[in-house]
Amino acid sequence: MDRIEANPAICGGKPVIRGTRIMVRNILGMIAGGYSIERILICYPDLTGADVAATLEYAAQVVDEEQVITS
């Protein structure tokens, strides 16, 4: 996960794409909203497809680590 960092001095410690202030949650929100990877890259020209893929991989790892409680 060399593309994702969480630093308390950047965006309050929220995970971002390394070297930017682009938060992982912003990219995930765009995907959830129906944006294609190509459209995300147009919105954030400093990102690469590998950055978006790393965001999805990071989210998958976080979800995998969480314990889900059902009612």
Contact 39, 31 (CB under 8 A): no
Does domain 4-65 sit in CATH 3.40.50.300? no
In this structure, are residues 7 and 24 in contact, taking their beta carbons and an 8 Å threshold?
A: no
CA dihedral of 64, 52, 19, 39, whole degrees rounded to 10: -140
* pTM for this predicted structure: 0.86
Is residue 71 over pLDDT 70? no
Q: Which two tokens stand for residue 3?
A: 């593309």
Give me 51's structure tokens.
């950055």
Give per-residue pLDDT as tens, 15-63.
999 999 999 999 999 999 999 999 999 999 999 999 999 999 999 999 8
Nearest alpha-carbon partner for 2 in 65, 63, 53: 53
